Structure formats: structure tokens, C-alpha cells
Structure 1
Amino acid sequence: MSDYFIRLYKDSDYDVARDLFAHGTKEYTSKAFHHSIRLPHIWLPVLVVLTLPVLNLMSIPISILMAAIAVVTVWFGNRYIFTSYIDYVLSDDMLDIREYYLQRDGYSFWVAESSDGEVIGTIAALPSSEPGGEKHLEMRRLSVAEHHRGKGIGSVLCRTLIDFARRRGCKAVVLTTTLSQIEAQKMYEKLGFRHTQNSLHPGLLGKVLDFGILAYKYDIPSQE
């Protein structure tokens, strides 16, 4: 017997839902940093700076300081992308979850609740605004509490949304995720989502850090 169940969002879930989203998003800073720091245009300059004392072109302390500043800058650059996104979402669709998701046609917001009454997961649905996606439903705000992962909660939340899309006559479910969310990508692909597009976070910072955005699509079989 499952130790959790899926239900529609209630106003009492507000703080937990926002915290799950914020924490779940911010935790990928480390993985994004490790990806960025391995980029040749990042680590090569750091390596060059560290070799300058050998050539008597810079003192060792200054060399180490400059390399450390570069590494820290890469860390905070990735963190800034995540935190600015969190700030935007919390002041946009998750500012008033009920009004945004439960009082508009084609929108919805579900939570996973444990048997002891704890909200341990969230997922949201809304009509896609992408060109040509009039019959597509967009998945957003999928989060599962860290200490409840590995139980299939994320997959059940996704299936709940897919069933909602099917009942509404949608042709597909679409979503975007980041390059650093590797486990989420594996889950989507296991559920039948196809990786359809790669892009970079807009702006110079996204290009420098190679902050990848991945698009996925799940085609809903037609019922004839």
C-alpha cells in the first residue's frame, strides 16, 4: 500500500509548496557549477593563472587568489541564475497558487501528501503558450522532498498530469528542465517523454556557463 496520495492543492499547502520549489531548484547549483568549471574556456584560464608564478610573472599568493576568485565567480554565476529564477516564480505564478492554477480553465496544481499529512511533492499544469502548441499542456513546478525521493512520487505526479491532459483532449505534454537535472531527465524519458530541443539560458551569463535548457515532449495517443 502506498504511503502517500495525490490531491489538488489547498491554501494550507502554500508555504510548503513554495519551499519545496525553492529548495528543489536551488540544490542544482552544485551540479551546474561542476559542469561549468569543466568547460575549456573556464578551466584553461584558471590553469594559466596558476602557472604564472612558475614563469616569474606573478607571485604565488596573487595567482592563487585570482584563480580562487574565478572559481567563486563561476559558482555564484550559476547560483544567480537559479536564485533569480526562484525569485521570479515566487512573485509570478506561485504568488497566488489558487488564483493562478485552480481558478482558470486548463490549469491545475496537485500535491503529494504522505500518510502522516506532510506535503512531499508538487506539480502544476497550464496550457502551453508556445507557437503551435494550442493542444499542448505544459508541466511546471515538479518537486519532491529530498527525503522522499526514490519512491516513484515524481512519476506518479507526472502521470496525474498526463491523465489530466488526456481527459482535456490535449495532444501532448511539454516541459523544460535544466542540463543539471539529470535524474529528472531519466525519469521523463522512462515515462515516454522525448528530448526535443536544447537551448541556453538567455544572456551572456548563460552562454559563458553553458547553462543548458532542455525541452521534452510526451505525445498522447489519439483515442479513436
Structure 2
Amino acid sequence: MKSPPATTQQDSTYQRLRQWVTVGRFLPGERLKIHDIAQQLGAGVMPVRAALQRLAAEGALVNVPHSGMLVPRLSVAEFDDVLQMRLLLEGEAAERGAHRIDAAGLAELAVLEQRMGEALATGDTTAYLDANELFHLRLYQAAASPTLMALIETVWLKVGPLSNRLFEAAGAARVLNHAHSDAMSALQQRDSAGVRRAIECDLFVAGQFLRPFCAA
């Protein structure tokens, strides 16, 4: 039996940058400087350049002549379209995941939900976004549908940079974790439809806070 191919630096650099885009490490309109990113990652310039080109091919970045790679700004119409796709895809993944998740998975989600609450209390944006991504990822992975997960991750690339602005919206921090608490309660009761509703509510509420930050 053949062993799986080793992960190259180019692959690992791409995966890391993809995750950074997804959790909003870069802001809409930001110009990405290859040498700065290479230094942050401890990677070579060539793997970073190749990773950025792959992300541009996926629509996560825009290659502007004479300006380099830019993080795109979503229009209101584009944002609304992405949000509708998220509600469809992530609602389905949440309901399927609720059917299949095991005790260890539930325990991990409970820890992540607590971590999000603590991050909101201290105003730690990065910690909240990281825990939030992992909470949704683990729930959706429990659905055991690679196709569904790939579609969700592609949509995440579109909206990730905008998520950085959540904490600029007045009142957002007070309510952002409510839906995760509701999802945990439904999971513990094995109420898969309730989990779906909670996740859809989470996406919708966050979307209303983010929508005003879209490009005119």
C-alpha cells in the first residue's frame, strides 16, 4: 500500500493562508504584501506567491495589475447572496451533524462555546473568531459529507474578511453567543431541527451586523 504524499511547503502555506482568509485575518480592501506574509508564516516567497494565486483563482482574492493581491469588498447584493447560500448549506450541515455527533464531539463544542463567551467578555476578537470557526467546523464535519463541507468552506472564503468588523457593530458582542448556547441546548436534547434553527439564527443575526459594512 502506498503511503500518502508528503505535504509540501506550498500546500501547507496555501492551507494556512486559506484559513487566515476564512477567519478574517485580512480586511476587505487590504493589499497583501508577499514578503510580509512570508515573514509572518516563516515561509519562502515562492510558496506564498503560489498560495495567493490559488486563492485568487478561487475568488477569495483579486489580482489587480500594478497593485498586487487585494482582499475584495463585497457589495450588499453579493453579501446577501452569500448569506442565503450559507443559510442553506450550513443549516443542512448543522442538522445532519446533530444526528451523527458523538459524546466527544459534544464535549468539544461545549468547550468552544464557553471559549467564545470568554472572548466576547474580554473583547478578544481573534479568539472569538477562531473558536467560532472551529465550533461550526466541528459540527458540520460531524455530518460526514465532504461535498457539503467543501461547498461551505468555499463560501466562507467570500465572507471571512468581513467578519473582522463584527465587533465594530454596536451591541453585537452582547448577543453573538446566544445562538451557540441555543445550539448546545438542542444538541444535548438531540433536537436536530432545533440545532438547524439555532445555526441559521446565528448566521442571520451576524449578517445583519455585517451588512452595513459592505461596499456601497
Higher helix proportion: 2
Higher relative contact order (CA 8 A, sep 6+): 2
Greater radius of gyration (CA): 1
Q: From the two aligned structures, give the one with the greater strand fraction.
A: 1
